[in-house]
Structures are given as C-alpha cells and as structure tokens.
Structure 1
Amino acid sequence: MSRTVTAGLDGSPESRAAADWAAREALRRGLALRLVHVHEWQPYSSVYAPLAGAVAAVDPDAQRQWAESVPRDAAAELGGRHPDLEITADLVSGQPAAALAAAAEESELLVLGSRGLGALAGFLVGSVASATVAQAVRPVVLVRAGEKGEDEHRPDLDGLVSQYTPFRDVVLGIDLTRPHDDLLAFAFEAAMLRGTGLRVVHGWNLPASYGYNPAAVALDLEHELTGAQARALTQVLAPWRAKYPAVEVVEHSLTGGAAHHLIEAAADASLVVVGRRVRHAAAGLHVGPVTHGVLHHAKAPVAVVPHD
C-alpha cells in the first residue's frame, strides 16, 4: 500500500488549517490525502447546557453522526478545491494520540493543528498533538490556526502575497553532534518540492570551561572556534548539496541557543524542520528543549522528524 499524507481532524479551526496544508503537500508529493478523525466513544457522556442550566446527556447516535461528519465534510470541501487530489476520510475509535501515531506509521507524514495565542504568547500545542509528536515514528507537521496557502509564499513587488509568488525558504535546525540522514533528507526534499532555498541553522555555545562570560574568551580563540563550527557545518552539508544541486543552501552557524535562532528564522520561512531523537527510556517520551521551543513559538509550520 502506498503511503499517504495524513491529517488529523477534530473539527477545530486549527485542524482544518492542518488539513488544508496537508492537501497542498499531498499534491506537491504526488500522494493521496487521508483525513482521520479519532473519537473516544463515551456512551454515557454528557454536556452542560448553559441556557437550560442543567447537565444534558449526549445522544450516542448524534455523537456518532457528528464524528462521522468531521472527516467527511472536510473531504468534500477539499475535494471541491482540489479535484485532482485523491482523498479518503476515516473515522477511528481509540485514544487520540495513540491512534494518530498509528496512522502516522502508514503515512509519509502526519499533519496536525496548533492553536494561536498571539505574538507574545506563541502557540499552544495541545496535549494530543504533543503526545503524538513525542511517539510518532514518522515526521509530524504542526500547522497553526489561520495558516493559509499564501502564507508560504514571498510577497510580490507591491508587498502582496499569493500562491503565485515564489515560496519562502525552508529552514532546517541541525545539531552537529548528531546530524541524521532522515532529518537532512526531509529538509532538502521539502525545499526541492517547493523550488526554494534551504537555510540551515546551527546554534552552538562556547565550551563550558569558559564559563558564562563570552568576553573572557580571547578574540583570536573565538574566531578559531567560530571557524571550526562553520567548517563542520559545511562538511556535513557537502554530500547533500551534491545530491540536491538545484537547492540553494545558506549556512548559519551562530553562537547562542538554537531555538532562539530558529524562531527568528521562522518569521520568513515556509516550513521549519527540526529533529526529535527517539529515546526508549522509562522517564517517558520527550521532544527535546529546542524542538519544544520551536513548536510553541515558530510562526511557520514546523516539521518534527524522528531519528535514532
């Protein structure tokens, strides 16, 4: 069975934005789109009816009808806008994060929504999305509420954005202590599919032996360390530049926290790509501090690529 681009739907505005992004990505990749709504059946569930001032039971049949309508209605809307796109709509019962992670296993990538909280607060990655990202074995893309197709593109000479102008760059965050082929391949492929450039951001800090005062480092030694980091980044990227000659690559080896630099770069990106090291520990599932910060504050869609 060929893989699909899969979008998780819950009826919210952010999940509809995610489904729209997933449809565009499926067309770029020449894949089918799968829409999945996961519902935990609760036959004895109830809701508070404020106008009636009472707690009212939810009709199980009405609950099922609503659940079935979520992916079906989204498929009809997206099919009308993208008539050449093959779309399937599925209703799955179970625990949402586990079911979505299972759906991701059969997919090229999984797309989920995240809620916007404003410029200062960043974005809210819900518990289901966070848990899914932390356990999925395939790439997961988080799309903020309100994301539109034209947001991925550069403004024209009049400052207007549309789907007819070139794409903004793809931004890749990389840790040179653990560069992984899956992460690099995803980022280069994303840039190639969009016909745009790839900005690679590597954040690094001075060795702990120098303490927390950069001024204590001699200028010539700082230049030496900076040059060594830049050369290491170039060396890691060299075979990928050769494999994807059409992708223009710009390298940024910067001192300071990687998350801060990536969040800044995301302001003018079509997609930010970060990694998640798969850990099999009793302490639970984690995404790492850099990826966590980017997920909660980057303005662009964020792809989290799991790797060993």
Structure 2
Amino acid sequence: MSSQRPVIVGVDGSPASLGAVRWAADEAVRLHRPLQITHALGVSGQNEPAPDEHQLAVQAAVEARTSQPGLHVTTGTWQGGAAQVLVEQSRHASLVVVGSHGPSGFVALPVDSLGVQVAAHAHCPVLVVHDAQRWADPAAALPRHGPVLVGTDGSDNAQLAIELAFAEAASRRADLIALRAWQEPPHRWGFAASRDRLADNARQALAADLEPWRAKYPGVRVELRAVHGAPAPVLLAESRDALMVVLSPRGTGGFDELRLGSVTQQVLDHASAPVLVARH
C-alpha cells in the first residue's frame, strides 16, 4: 500500500461532519498520511450546485489544519451521492471517516445510512464516528483514554479486525480488550455442555486468535474477555467504556453476497463509541 494513500473524510457542512474532520485529521497524523476532504454535491443533474459549494470543503480544511498544524490537506468537490463518491474514492485511500449525526435523541433509531453504506461497500477500513457533533467545537478534546475494543469470532475476517485493532492500540498507546461472545450450543441427546468448559474453550480460542499479533505488538497490553451472551448485545454493553470498537465486516455466519454481517450492522446502528470496520 502506497504511503501516499490518504485518509478521506466526507463533509456536508453539518456539525457532525466537522467532528468527523477532527477525528480524520487525528487519524491522518497517527497514520502518517495526508488528509483528503471530500464534499459530494448529490446525484448529477438533480440539483444545481451553488457557486460557493467548494468553500464548504475549504472551510473544513482550515479546521483540520488548525487542529493538526503541519498536516497536508487537500480538498475536492464531486458530483454524485455521498456514499457513491466515498466508496469510489476508498479504492485509493488508507481509511475513510464518516461522521454520524446520531440517533436524533431516540436511542432506538439506527445511525445514519451513509455510514452503513460506506462501511458495507468501501475498499479500505471505515471509521464511523457516532454523534460526531460532540467534537465539532475546537475546544472539545478528542478522547485519549479508554481501551480499544475488538470483537472476534475466529473467522478469517476477524483476523483483519484484530490486526487493525492492535495497530490502533499501539499508535494510541492504549490498552486492547479482545472480546469473544459464547453461547451454549443446542443440547444433543439430553446432555448439556458445562458452562465452565464452554467459557474456557472460548477463552483458549480467543488467546490463539491473538497470539501472532501479540508477538508483533509486544508493547500493547491485552485483556482477554470471553463473555456469555449473544455477540451484538455483548459488544454494545462492553463498548460503553471503549475509546473505539473494531469489527470485521462479516463473521463466521456471513454470506458472501451480504456486505455486512448482522452483528456488525447492529453495532454500527447502536454503539455510542466510534466503530472501525476492517476491510481489505
């Protein structure tokens, strides 16, 4: 991967997109990458762009340079829907950052569809920053404390998430919590498996998943958690104190034609912490 692949962030002039710009600028510095600010004008021919449309991206660039002096920032304004433009540009990016407007005060409502669409179809990792308007004000400090939480189920896709989570934790000098949810299998022939044995098996499998990455990142302090319960509710509960949640797009139950697994979809919809979706 070329060292010039930028971090890309989409802006629309909302406070949430400005908060996403600050997260993206922080990630760009952390990854030693340039930052590209992208504004999509909507479907071609549907609306007439205003003469000052590009000024919106330029203003976001000023905010990025203010928060991270010395950061190389470029801007672009493109015809097309926001998801379409960001997914296409992700082919040449190291990371795409999308700010969510949040659930409009109703915790039962899912996150904006833009973050889900981009996470489902992008060609690089995608960071969805929930309620990003919290960081629109330059005086609002980005979170520096708390662990990086990664969910793993033993699938090949989960290895992508584990690698990305270790890299994030190392760059932030943060702890890493590796989580594996387990449930009792259906009883067969009237015999129920021991819960202690199931928990121990899950913990051992989790340790095996992390072994190569612990050797590569010896400075990252890791906590293993094998938790009883369905994966999505367990991840959402554990994410409340996390700095960031890292997930793969699909787990062991995924179908190739489905772009996002149900667990990732649920966490994207309802997590309060930023969610980083690992993609090739």
Q: Which residue matches 1:150?
A: 141
1:127 CA displacement: 2.5
State whether structure 2 residue 237 is matched by structure 1 residue 259.
no
Does structure 2 retain, via aligned residues, the 8 Å contact 1:110–1:141?
yes
Question: Quick one: which of 170, 192, 212 aligns to 2:148?
Answer: 170
- TM-score normalised by L of structure 2: 0.88
Moved more, 117-126 or 7-16: 117-126
Question: Quick one: which of 3, 6, 10 aligns to 2:5?
Answer: 3
- Select the structure of larger CA radius of gyration: 1
Residues 293 and 119 of structure 1, relative CA distance in 2, 3 Å threshold: farther
Residues 75 and 123 of structure 1, relative CA distance in 2, 3 Å threshold: farther
Q: Which residue matches 2:30?
A: 28
1:130 CA displacement: 1.9
Q: Which residue matches 2:125?
A: 139
Residues 118 and 203 of structure 1, relative CA distance in 2, 3 Å threshold: farther
Give aligned pairs, total: 270
1:222 CA displacement: 1.9
Q: Which residue matches 1:78?
A: 64
Residues 43 and 232 of structure 1, relative CA distance in 2, 3 Å threshold: closer
State whether structure 2 residue 271 is matched by structure 1 residue 303.
no
Whose strand fraction is larger, Structure 1's or Structure 2's?
A: 1
Does structure 1 retain, via aligned residues, the 8 Å contact 2:25–2:67?
no
Distance of 1:78 and 1:151 partners within structure 2: 13
Residues 245 and 123 of structure 1, relative CA distance in 2, 3 Å threshold: farther
Does structure 1 retain, via aligned residues, the 8 Å contact 2:116–2:268?
no
State whether structure 2 residue 183 is matched by structure 1 residue 192.
no
Moved more, 36-45 or 226-235: 36-45
Does structure 1 retain, via aligned residues, the 8 Å contact 2:157–2:248?
no
Distance of 2:267 and 2:178 partners within structure 1: 15
Residues 286 and 27 of structure 1, relative CA distance in 2, 3 Å threshold: same
1:289 CA displacement: 1.4
Alignment map for 1:1-308 (pairs within 5 Å): 2-40=4-42, 45=47, 60=48, 63-117=49-103, 121=107, 124-145=110-131, 146-148=133-135, 150-153=141-144, 167-178=145-156, 180-209=158-187, 217=192, 221-277=194-250, 280-281=256-257, 285-306=258-279
Give the unaligned 5+ runs of structure 1.
46-59, 154-166
1:279 CA displacement: 5.5
Distance of 1:222 and 1:265 partners within structure 2: 21
What per-residue deviation string (whole Å, max 9, x for no partner) do you get for residues 121-175 of structure 1? 156422332222111121111112334363523xxxxxxxxxxxxx211000111
Distance of 1:151 and 1:268 partners within structure 2: 15
Residues 126 and 120 of structure 1, relative CA distance in 2, 3 Å threshold: closer
Distance of 2:155 and 2:31 partners within structure 1: 31
Residues 39 and 250 of structure 1, relative CA distance in 2, 3 Å threshold: same
Does structure 1 retain, via aligned residues, the 8 Å contact 2:125–2:277?
yes
1:32 CA displacement: 0.8
Q: Which amino acid aligns with 1:17?
A: G
Distance of 2:210 and 2:259 partners within structure 1: 27
- TM-score normalised by L of structure 1: 0.80
